[in-house]
Amino acid sequence: MWNGDGNTIISLFEDMKKKGFAPDETTILAVLQGCCCYSGLWETGLCLINEMETKYGIRPVIEHYSSMIDLLGRAGNLSKAVNIIDKSPFPESPLLWRTFVNACKLCGDLQFGMWVFNKLLDLAPYEASSYMYRICMLKVICKKKLQRENPEHDLKEFMHYNPRK
């Protein structure tokens, strides 16, 4: 219902605070996911997560960081997303790296996405979901390569593609 209507959600969030209702973990997560990620309001989301602890006394949990990775990735701010992961209490979390692989795919940065995918495989080599992200990335790569001049050669190259090289 509210997805994509970020300004309305921010307005309701501000009204809620003006009426004396303090946001909790879930409210902040809903604002991050429901409006910031899907409306491109990445600066608002970054401010919100940066002030969670100081302004509202809420320590961000992994879901908040995951939402920020998604938010920054969708906005194409991949280097900021890496900084968020590195500075978070969860730098070795497969969840954050899976979120980041997907964000790379969504913004179309496949080279960065494959680097992130390799990091994910280092962290979670036995989790099936890690390999599902590889399949998604490789599908995008294949589609792009097949649109080039020599699709037969590109298809052979794709079939033997190994991101670990």
Report the CATH number at residue 42: 1.25.40
Highest mean pLDDT among 48-52, 91-95, 112-116: 91-95
Mean pLDDT, the chain, whole residue set: 81
pLDDT above 60 (res 165): no
Within-domain flag for 40: yes
- Assigned token pair, 12: 């309701």
Query: Does the pLDDT value for residue 84 go beyond 50?
Result: yes
Contact 13, 47 (CB under 8 A): no
User: Whole-prediction pTM value?
Assistant: 0.80
> Around Cβ 50, how many Cβ atoms within 10 Å?
12
Q: Which of 15-19, 66-70, 79-83, 102-106 has the lowest mean pLDDT?
A: 102-106
Domain total in the chain: 1
Q: Across residues 10-27, what is the average pLDDT? A: 92
Q: Is the pLDDT of residue 35 over 80?
A: no
49 CB burial (10 A radius; 0-12, 13-18, 19+): buried
| pLDDT number for residue 4 | 55
Please report whether residue 165 resides in a domain.
no
Dihedral angle sign, alpha carbons of residues 154, 161, 164, 127 = positive
Residue 93 lies inside a defined structural domain of this protein: yes
